[in-house]
């Protein structure tokens, strides 16, 4: 169990445990007064729960293809005080969109599988959770482009090489890059992740940086501020 300030996460049967990428996405992803939010590949459900906590007037749909992880996420939702605004769908995002053809979202988030063309894990669950190829992201971006509201945004967190591929795919599908947040471990280190924000509007792209540690084992002020409402250590 991982205890947050307002909910708890059981991680049983989830290949991808709670990690920095996920909690940063849950803490930073935002759009003005969202009513409908979608979390693609919810895993434990942590990002969906964080968004339900942050946006009290929003309903949050969460999609998870791994049946065991989906079962765990559903229990985490049911045990939270936000359970009346959370829904879990144990499908691929393709099947979900096909079965909910009319739904559009103000905010779509995903901490997706990202090790493109890398050596696959022998463990099937980790393989599903952590690996994807270009076809996966092409399908994801095409689906997202058709399911955002006019002012909606899609937030993804990715390694740098995967981020470059996704930017190209988004451009080909008329999804515009509105913000890039470069995630760095330390002030003087190079970015190791990018949080990408896409939308239908061709706005001027805004570049930002986010530093996790001020020094070894000491979290930065911005990290503490971002997670203060969630982590019991802050």
Q: What pLDDT is stored for residue 135 in this prediction?
A: 85
- pTM, two decimal places: 0.92
Full residue range of the structural domain in which residue 121 is found = 2-227
Question: For residue 232, is it within any domain?
Answer: no
Q: How many distinct structural domains can be found in the chain?
A: 1
How far apart (Å, rounded) are the C-alpha atoms in residues 46 and 63? 12
How far apart (Å, rounded) are the C-alpha atoms in residues 163 and 11? 27
Beta bridge partners of 214: none
Tens digits of residue pLDDT in 188-223 = 999 999 999 999 998 888 999 999 999 999 999 999
Q: Contacts for 180-185 with beta carbons within 8 Å, 24 or more apart?
A: 180/205, 180/206, 180/207, 180/208, 181/28, 181/208, 181/209, 181/210, 182/207, 182/208, 182/209, 182/210, 183/24, 183/157, 183/210, 183/212, 184/209, 184/210, 184/211, 184/212, 185/211, 185/212, 185/213
Question: For residue 233, is it within any domain?
Answer: no
Which two tokens mark 234?
């802050």
| Mean pLDDT, all residues of the chain | 91
Ranges of residues in the chain whose predicted pLDDT is under 70: 113-133
Return the CATH number at 109: 3.40.50.150
Question: For residue 200, is it within any domain?
Answer: yes
Chain centroid to CA 225: 19
Question: For residue 53, is it within any domain?
Answer: yes
How far apart (Å, rounded) are the C-alpha atoms in residues 20 and 208? 18
Question: For residue 127, is it within any domain?
Answer: yes
At residue 126's C-alpha, the angle toward residues 108 and 83, to 5°, is 45
Question: For residue 183, is it within any domain?
Answer: yes
Question: For residue 64, is it within any domain?
Answer: yes
Q: What pLDDT is stored for residue 14 in this prediction?
A: 86
Beta bridge partners of 207: 180
Least Cα distance to 141 among 117, 90, 115, 176 occurs for: 176
Q: What pLDDT is stored for residue 136 in this prediction?
A: 87
Helical H segments across the chain, by residue range: 20-28, 46-54, 67-78, 93-99, 124-130, 134-147, 160-172, 221-227
Q: What pLDDT is stored for residue 168 in this prediction?
A: 94
Please tell me whether residue 215 adopts helix, strand or coil conformation: strand
Tens digits of residue pLDDT in 48-64 = 999 999 999 999 999 99
Q: What pLDDT is stored for residue 116 in this prediction?
A: 39
Q: What pLDDT is stored for residue 122 in this prediction?
A: 54
């Amino acid at each position: 169990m991982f205890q947050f300030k307002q909910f708890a996460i059981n991680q049983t049967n989830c290949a991808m445990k709670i990690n920095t990428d996920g909690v940063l996405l849950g803490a930073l992803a935002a759009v003005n007064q969202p009513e409908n939010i979608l979390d693609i590949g919810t895993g434990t459900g942590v990002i969906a729960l964080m968004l339900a906590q942050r946006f009290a007037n929003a309903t949050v749909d969460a999609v998870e293809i791994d049946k065991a992880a989906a079962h765990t996420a559903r229990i985490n939702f049911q045990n939270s005080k936000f359970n009346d605004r959370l829904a879990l769908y144990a499908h691929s995002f393709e099947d979900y969109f096909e079965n909910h053809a009319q739904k559009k979202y103000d905010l779509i988030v995903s901490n997706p599988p990202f090790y493109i063309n890398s050596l696959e894990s022998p463990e099937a669950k980790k393989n599903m959770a952590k690996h994807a190829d270009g076809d996966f992201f092409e399908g994801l971006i095409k689906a997202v482009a058709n399911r955002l509201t006019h002012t909606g945004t899609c937030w993804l967190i990715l390694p740098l090489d995967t981020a470059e591929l996704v930017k190209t795919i988004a451009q080909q599908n008329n999804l515009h890059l509105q913000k890039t947040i470069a995630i760095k471990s330390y002030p003087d280190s190079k970015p190791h992740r990018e949080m990408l924000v896409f939308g239908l509007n061709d706005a001027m792209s805004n570049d930002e940086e986010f530093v996790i540690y001020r020094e070894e084992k000491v979290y930065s002020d911005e990290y503490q501020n971002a997670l203060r409402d969630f982590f019991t250590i802050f």
